[in-house]
Structure 1
Amino acid sequence: MNKSELIKTLSEENNIAIEEATMMVNVFVDSMKDALAEGNRVEIRGFGSFKMKEYEGYTGRNPKTGEVVTVHPKHLPFFRAGKELKEFLNS
């Protein structure tokens, strides 16, 4: 499911306009992005949690050319599925 499909489903299941569903999804996603950018953890009970992980830089190799390259440190989002989601998917 992508963002457009989520908006369409929200609109259809709650009998609301596509524009309203779009606004709701955008506010939800933007709030999560803002919280993660501030270094906060985002937890949705029964679904899972998101947090930022820091990765140190390292020296790697371009797999095509074999050239040595420096990979800079980075921050990446990390998702951990919640217990209820795991149980739902494995039942």
Structure 2
Amino acid sequence: MNKQELISAVAETSGLSRSDASKAVESVFDTITGALKKGDEVRLVGFGTFACSQRKASTGRNPRTGEPMQIKASKQPKFKAGKSLKDTVQ
């Protein structure tokens, strides 16, 4: 399912117009992104948790040349599925 299919499904199940559903989906994505950017985590009980984790700087190898290179420290967004979601999918 892609973003447009998600918007269509939300519009169909909620009774919203397609443009209102699009605004709602975009708003949810923007809110989650903003919270992660600030360093907060977003916990949706029964669905899952969005959080950021820190990756340390490390030394890697350039796949073409094989020479060592520095990989900068970075933040990585993570999602951990909740128990209800895991049980539903199985």
Smaller-chain TM-score bracket: over 0.9
1:34 aligns with 2:72: no
**Cα distance between partner residues in 1 of 2:16 and 2:51:** 32
1:44 alignment counterpart: 44
Alpha-carbon distance in 1 for matches of 2:79, 2:15: 31
Aligned match of 1:24: 24
Give the alignment of 1:1-80 within 5 angstroms: 1-80=1-80
Q: TM-score, normalised by structure 2?
A: 0.93
Shift, 1:18, TM fit:
1.0
Consecutive unaligned residues in structure 1, runs of 5 or more: none
Deviation for aligned residue 1:51: 0.6
Deviation at 1:80, TM superposition (A): 0.7
State the aligned residue count.
90
Q: What are the Cα deviations for residues 46-76 of structure 1, in whole angstroms up to 9, with x where unaligned?
A: 1100111001111100123212111000001
Mapped to 1, the partners of 2:32 and 2:67 lie a distance apart of 38
Aligned counterparts of 1:52 and 1:14: Cα–Cα separation in 2: 31
Structure 2, unaligned runs of 5 or more: none
TM-score of the two chains, using structure 1 as the length reference? 0.92
CA distance in 1, matches of 2:89, 2:11: 25
State the one-letter code of the partner of 1:29: F
The whole-number CA distance in structure 2 between the counterparts of 1:33 and 1:84 is: 23
